[in-house]
Structure 1
Amino acid sequence: MCFHTIQNKLAVQIEKRFNAKIKDINEFAPHEHFNGFTFPKTPIITDEHPEVIEHYNWGLIPHWAKDDQIKAMTLNARIETVEEKPSFRDAVSHRCLVIANGFYEWQWLDSKGKNKVKYKIGIGNEELFAFAGLYSHWTDTHTGEIKNTYTILTTEANELMAEIHNHKKRMPVVLHPEDELRWLEGAPIKEFSFPYSVNLIARK
């Protein structure tokens, strides 16, 4: 799966790479480690505004949710079932690029995961890339606040990731740069499932 990401590049680097402008620079804060279970705001680009970099909370809250508790279970969406799962099916047409330059995964050294080795994974030279994501706008019925949230899609692990993520054998969908616009424009989701993958590099 993918619950721990990295985005430690400067604003100017992100804007140049994605040919887009950060909407609110006060929200921008590079981090060596975004923990999904703290539901952080991280930079994304939506299909609504591909020229703008916005900050959404990680952990998708579907529009029909009565409260935000579901977000702990929607950090990731399995690409094989995303179009059928109630949590995600209404968001399938709401595409986004989740901006990062790395993520962390732990290799289990025993059957219960009591002993693990942490790996830092990216595409080489710690360059920026985009995870395939989906987003949602949810209105809190008690406060009227609108929360903008997203999820990262995952697929079957390639050879490298199957060795590292050896208990579930999953990996996030990292897009080829030339496919980022196709993703935003609604290309069929199944086209981005394994064996679709980029050349990832891992180090301890």
Structure 2
Amino acid sequence: MCYYTQQNASIEDLKRRFNAELDNEETYLQSDFINGFSHPNIPVILNSSPHLITTDYTWGLLPSWAKDIEFRKNTLNARIESIDEKASFKNITHNRCLIIASAYYEWHWNDEKGKSKDKYQINSQDDEIFTFAGLYSSWTDPLTNEIKNTYTMVTTKANGLMQYIHNHKLRMPIMLKRQDESAWLDQSVKIEDFAFPYQGNLVGFQI
């Protein structure tokens, strides 16, 4: 699974990379280490507005029927193999987004219980700025009527490199090739087309 990323690109670099505008510079998140469990607002691009980079969505999806905000700690990731079956995701598979990053982090376990671990940073071999496949939704707090916009990161079985690095879970996020970003945003393209053995061009470094 993937819970830790990096997004250290400047606003101008993102605008050039995606040929898009940014909705709010004041809430733009730029960090070398981002913890998904803090539910950050990593910039994303929605298929409903592909020419806009938005900062109004937070990591950890809240389906419309969720009873409280704590539910999102369970939905940082969505397994692509069961995405059409899980109640949290099956009704929003047409709500696709690109989650912007410059790296992500996983740990290699050196023993069965993970008492000794090596941290790896994974980057794209092709682009300093890349994207993960995501789904998004909006949720209304039943107590305050506040609307929260959220997203989840879609994961698949690990490829050869990630089987070694993430040897405990054997999972990896779907790290999109640049030429596949438009296809992911196109809801007419089947989600299963991005499942394993989908191979992003990635490289990992022990840090």
* TM-score, scaled to structure 2: 0.96
**Residue in structure 2 matched with residue 54 of structure 1 by the alignment:** 54
Q: Secondary structure at the match of 2:34?
A: strand
Contact 1:62-1:90 within 8 A present in 2 as well: no
| Structure 2: distance between partners of 1:145 and 1:177 | 35
Q: Secondary structure at the match of 1:69?
A: helix
How many residue pairs are counted as aligned between the two chains?
A: 204
Contact 1:137-1:147 within 8 A present in 2 as well: yes
Q: Secondary structure at the match of 1:197?
A: coil
| Structure 2: distance between partners of 1:104 and 1:151 | 17
**Residue in structure 2 matched with residue 199 of structure 1 by the alignment:** 201
Query: Following TM superposition, by how much is the alpha carbon of 1:25 offset from its aligned partner in structure 2, in angstroms?
Result: 0.6
Query: Following TM superposition, by how much is the alpha carbon of 1:57 offset from its aligned partner in structure 2, in angstroms?
Result: 0.4
Q: Percent identity?
A: 49
Is residue 2:84 matched to residue 1:79?
no
Q: Partner amino acid for 1:202?
A: G
| Structure 2: distance between partners of 1:13 and 1:156 | 31
57-66 vs 125-134, greater mean Cα deviation: 125-134
Q: Partner amino acid for 2:152?
A: T
Q: How does 1:36-185 map to 2 (within 5 A)?
A: 36-55=36-55, 56-124=57-125, 127-185=128-186
Query: Following TM superposition, by how much is the alpha carbon of 1:141 offset from its aligned partner in structure 2, in angstroms?
Result: 1.3
| Structure 1: distance between partners of 2:97 and 2:127 | 21
Q: Secondary structure at the match of 1:64?
A: coil
Contact 1:102-1:126 within 8 A present in 2 as well: no
Unaligned runs of 5+ in 2: none
Question: C-alpha offsets along residues 25-77 of structure 1, whole Å, 9 cap, x if unaligned?
Answer: 10113100110011111100001111111121000000111111110110000
* TM-score, scaled to structure 1: 0.98
| Structure 1: distance between partners of 2:199 and 2:22 | 28
| Structure 2: distance between partners of 1:169 and 1:120 | 16
What root-mean-square deviation, in Å, do the aligned CA atoms of Structure 1 and Structure 2 show? 1.0
Question: C-alpha offsets along residues 84-126 of structure 1, whole Å, 9 cap, x if unaligned?
Answer: 1001112211000000011000000000011100000011376
Q: How does 1:1-40 map to 2 (within 5 A)?
A: 1-40=1-40
**Misfit runs of 4+, over 6 Å:** none
| Structure 2: distance between partners of 1:68 and 1:189 | 27
Query: Following TM superposition, by how much is the alpha carbon of 1:19 offset from its aligned partner in structure 2, in angstroms?
Result: 1.0
| Structure 1: distance between partners of 2:71 and 2:91 | 15
Q: Partner amino acid for 1:111?
A: E
